[in-house]
Amino acid sequence: MTSDFLPFALPDIGEEEIAAVVEALRSGWVTTGPKARQFEADFAAFLGGGVEAIAVNSATAGLHLGLEALGVGPGDEVITTTHTFTATAEVIRYLGADPVFVDVDASTLCIDVAAVESAITPRTKAIIPVHYAGRAADMQRLLALARKHGLRVMEDAAHALPTTCGGQLVGTLASDVTVFSFYANKTMTTGEGGMLVTRDAGIARRARVMRLHGINRDAFDRFTAKVPSWYYEIVAPGFKYNMTDIAAAMGIEQLKKVRAFADRRTQVAAWYDEALAGLPIVRPPHAAPGDVHSWHLYVVQLADGAGVGRDQFIERLFAQGIGCSVHYIPLHLQPYWRDTYGLTPEMFPVSQRIYERTLSLPMYSRMAQGDVARVAAAIEEALR
């Protein structure tokens, strides 16, 4: 990496986060405690709509806890999209259930609701849509379909803070569980971390217990409540998914900035849209009218007649100091998923076609208009 390399993603961490983490370290309470509790309260208040927020050490952990709380187990099927990160599907296998992969809608790059309907069997228990790149999936139709068939819905909202759908923030829709990610390159970060959100008190209770070893109260409670501090009960073989106060301290400060981050990402997307107009580049789908796109990713496709293959195009951009990525190598091409479930590209023509021509351009809140101009100039050069 040269010093003037423009990376694909960068976290936006200020002095506020640094001071908050230092304060957490000095407080003497570094694991789950008052900061984690405050972060949960702040996050629930940010979303509104009477949701409960449960902080975990990754979105993957949250997705696992969510499905576990929904009662997914061996013999069940869970329908999800092939055009996602493997975490969305691996949690289904953690519980001994089987993912059923479906294609995406070319106009949103999110799960194709008609394909979901065709994939429902008597074994289907739940659906996991992904708000790809930060653009909401068609949740109105998906939730109606789930209701009609008595299926549970868990949203993988790793990209979707602060995305809206039908004017409502993702996290406050009528699904059973929504899970956000605070991984390093997401729209806000705690280094590693995630948040499970639900309005269902039973799911929330189960997720809190399973988050920490199946203990009926967390460690902070034990040292502050009136019952003897040494007493606890194990009610299930739980996991170790709690968020540290160090991470939560960072999350509290990042959350305060998340609207400003989103405004900046929206501006960067608008600069890209303008700079790429007229080039053989298919620009990304926008949110539905009136809705917010979080712009976690700015995903383009090479148009027919671009005259260069995707892999070579990325190499040419890299040679000019521009970092890019690909979201995603679809799961139907990944050896484990392909071989375990007998998946072929022909089963997912939309995802496959997008994969062959897609790349994600640098996108983060610290980007300036000059950075976008530089990427656009590099793209013109790479197309030559």
> Using CB under 6 A as the criterion, which residues of the chain lie in contact with ligand PLP when the complex forms?
58-60, 84-85, 87-88, 130, 156, 158-159, 181, 183, 194
Given the residues 125, 186, 226, 240, the one annotated as active site: 186
Nearer to ligand PLP, 56 or 113 (CB): 56
The least CB distance from residue 249 to ligand PLP, in Å, is 18
What sign has the CA pseudo-torsion 367, 167, 78, 44?
positive
Tally of CB atoms within 10 A around 284: 23
The least CB distance from residue 216 to ligand PLP, in Å, is 26
- Asked whether the beta carbons of 325 and 359 are under 8 A apart, the reply is yes
The least CB distance from residue 23 to ligand PLP, in Å, is 24
Nearer to ligand PLP, 68 or 276 (CB): 68
What DSSP state is assigned to residue 345?
Answer: G
Q: Can you read off the two tokens belonging to residue 49?
A: 């709509």
Q: Give kind and range of the element (H or E) at residue 128.
A: strand 124-128
Amino acid at 319: A
Burial of 362 (0-12, 13-18, 19+ CB in 10 A): buried
Nearer to ligand PLP, 115 or 137 (CB): 137
CA 145 – CA 149 distance, rounded (Å): 6
String of DSSP letters for 33-76: SHHHHHHHHHHHHHH-TT-EEEEES-HHHHHHHHHHHTT--TT-
Nearer to ligand PLP, 133 or 269 (CB): 133
Q: Is 256 a catalytic residue?
A: no
How far lies 274's CA from each of 21, 34, 208, 279, in Å? 39, 45, 46, 10
CA 152 – CA 265 distance, rounded (Å): 32
Nearer to ligand PLP, 85 or 272 (CB): 85
The least CB distance from residue 80 to ligand PLP, in Å, is 10
String of DSSP letters for 212-274: BTTBSS-HHHHTTSSS-TT---B-S---B-BPPHHHHHHHHHHHHHHHHHHHHHHHHHHHHHH
HSE of 231, CA atoms in CB hemisphere, 13 A: 4
HSE of 289, CA atoms in CB hemisphere, 13 A: 0
- Asked whether the beta carbons of 136 and 164 are under 8 A apart, the reply is yes
Nearer to ligand PLP, 363 or 382 (CB): 363
Nearer to ligand PLP, 85 or 298 (CB): 85
The least CB distance from residue 226 to ligand PLP, in Å, is 36
The least CB distance from residue 62 to ligand PLP, in Å, is 8
- Asked whether the beta carbons of 154 and 128 are under 8 A apart, the reply is yes
Query: Which residue numbers are catalytic?
Result: 186
